Structures are given as C-alpha cells and as structure tokens.
Amino acid sequence: MSESPAAPATQGWRWPAEWEPHAATWFTWPHNPDTWPGCMQGARRAFVAMTAALQGRERVCILVNDAAHEAGAREALATAGVDPDRGVAFHPVPTDDGWLRDCGPVWLLRGAESAVVDFPFDAWGRKYPPWDRDAAVPAVLAERLGLPRFRASRVLEGGAVDGDGRGTILTTESCLLNPNRGPGRTREALEQLLADTLGARQVVWLGDGIAGDDTDGHVDDFARFVAPGVVVLAQEPDAGDANHAPLAAARERLRGLRDAEGKPVDVVALPMPPPLQAAGERLPASYANFYLANGVALVPTFEAPSDEQALAVLRELLVGRELVGVPCRDLVVGLGALHCVTQQQPLPGPAVD
C-alpha cells in the first residue's frame, strides 16, 4: 500500500458512478446504542435485508469491532435465513458508528487498478465524539487490501456528493461550505478539491438539505444521479412542510442543467414520504437515499402509501434493475438510511453506463 497527497485525478484516476459494476458492497454492522435508541434490532433488520438482496450479486464486506460483534452479526443473519458464509466477508475493523458512506474510503479506478481517497472525517463538524476509529477506516482498509491511498486535504463526507462518473458532481452549499468542517471552505477551494480527488469538471451547487438532516444537508438525501443525464430530485408539494421550500429551490437551480459534457440533464420528481418523527424530532426520511448495486436498487420504505409511488418512479428509470424495498422506519431514527450506511467498491475495468 502506498500513500500519496497528490491529486489522483491528474494521474488518470476516476470516480466511477454508483451504477457501474461493483466488486463489493461495504458496511459496518450497527452497534452504537446512542444512534438507534430502543430500535437497534429494527435497524439491524435493514442490514439483514440488504445482505439478502446483495447475495449472489456482489460480495458483502462487513466491518465488525471484534469476535463477539461478528458472532452477533452472524446470528442475526442466520436467524433470518441468510447464510453468513455465502459471499459475505467479515473484517475486524473497529468503528465508532455505522455511517460508512461518510467515513469510509471512496474508491477510484484507473483501468484494471483500484485506489482509495481518504477524506478527513470529523463526525459532521465535530458533532458526535469520539470519531477517531471511524476516521481511521480508510487507512486501515487501504493497508489491508494493499491499495494506494490518496490523502485529501479537507473534510468531506461521501454522502455530501453525488456523481455521474463523467465529471459532473452534485453537492450543497449548506454542507460543503459550512465552516464547522474547518477554515477556508470557499466555493473555489472545494471545487478544486473535488477536481483533484474525484475528477469533477462541473460542480452543481444546490442550497439546503432536508429537515432533520444532522449532516448540514447531504445531497444524497434529496438529489441523485441514476444514469448519465438523469437526476431524481425529491419534491414536497405541501407548502406548509419544512421540505417544500428547499426542494423547490433545488429544482430551480437544476432547471436547464447541462452536465460536464454539455448535454442536457433530465430532472425527475421523486415523492417524499409523510413526515416521520422520533422523540419529537423530525427525521430525514427520503426515498432518494437509495443504493444502486449489481442488478438491484435498494430503496428505503417507510410503511406509507408513498412507498409504492416512489418505487414506481424509480422502476421506470432503473430499467433492468430489480427494485427491493427495505423497511427503514427504525434505521432512519439514526438520521440516515441505506445510502448513508453503504459504500461501493467498483469493479476495475472500463466505464459502463
């Protein structure tokens, strides 16, 4: 494993789109009781469902703190009828929490080669100490897997950006420009960071995120690429709802959007679920927090009539990909859903749309 502060994009490395072929999906088996108070078992059921849907499609790599943690994960999977030895690998990598999208490595490809970017992680602006074990995950995995590691200079979480694999990246001002992630977070500085590390040629700046999102507005909760030239955008028609204004503003910013190659981008409306709360606080429930894997899309559901509406929208867009609804009412109590807890390891090779 080599380590470098250099800009990987200048060396021919690229950040693949999520819909490109995967070698594996990584996540952490949930263990922090403060994140899922009183609903840990319900949250774990979402991880069981994800594992079941991914088996036979790509490898499932699960981080565990120790042997006891692994034994508990194995038992939960086996009890649900999921074979913990079929295409599943457990990795003893201690963590503080379960949000691997934000603290884990971001994989890059260069032909048949793989590497990772290690963005500094500080628990979304130092909100939830301790975070030192989470922050160490990219370096630990790069060492274990023997991969080159590029150390980025500024804090950035994986859920704060979404890309088309061709140089167009969606993000938000409320998160990326937030001074709680460190000094000097200007638009120019962050665009340079995204260009150097992820190969951004066009950064599309949206404004604020959705209500209840403690990340200061991660874009993966409301605006996502599903194919080159196609973005799904959550929309809230109720003018009295806290999400109506920021999502309407995002639609205005995306109006007439062209990607990094100058091609027009279609923006497709995705419904929002009814407001969900826990302990009197709004939860960031959203169908946009889906995860694309080999031949399948894992979509959060919330036991609401809008579940079927959202699945219908995504089914039309994701032709040839099976849609699996994963109940997330308990998972979202932790203030995130399926995309937030997963990280894809792309399969080396040429780009595939």
Residue 351 resides in a domain: no
Whole-structure pTM over 0.85, yes or no? yes
Identified catalytic residue from 39, 175, 328, 340: 340
Residue 353 resides in a domain: no
Q: How many domains does the chain have?
A: 1
Residue 115 resides in a domain: yes
CA atoms within 13 A on the CB side of 163: 25
Contact call for residues 215 and 198 (beta carbons, < 8 A): no
Pairing of strands 22-28, 343-346: antiparallel
Residue 235 resides in a domain: yes
Decide if 340 is catalytic. yes
pLDDT at residue 353 in the model: 43
Residue 336 resides in a domain: yes
Dihedral (CA of 135, 200, 203, 340) sign? negative
pLDDT at residue 3 in the model: 53
55: containing domain: 3-346
Q: What is the CATH number of the domain that holds 122?
A: 3.75.10.10
Q: What are φ and ψ of residue 168, in 5° steps?
A: -100, 125
Closest CA to 41 of 87, 76, 68: 76
Residue 352 resides in a domain: no
Residue 38 resides in a domain: yes
pLDDT in tens, the chain (353 residues): 455 556 999 999 999 999 999 999 999 999 999 999 999 999 999 999 999 999 999 999 999 999 999 999 999 999 999 999 999 999 999 999 999 999 999 999 999 999 999 999 999 999 999 999 999 999 999 999 999 999 999 999 999 999 999 999 999 999 999 999 999 999 999 999 999 999 999 999 999 999 999 999 999 999 999 999 999 999 999 999 999 999 999 999 999 999 999 999 999 999 999 999 999 999 999 999 999 999 999 999 999 999 999 999 999 999 999 999 999 999 999 999 999 999 999 999 655 44
Residue 229 resides in a domain: yes
Closest CA to 271 of 297, 302, 233, 327: 233
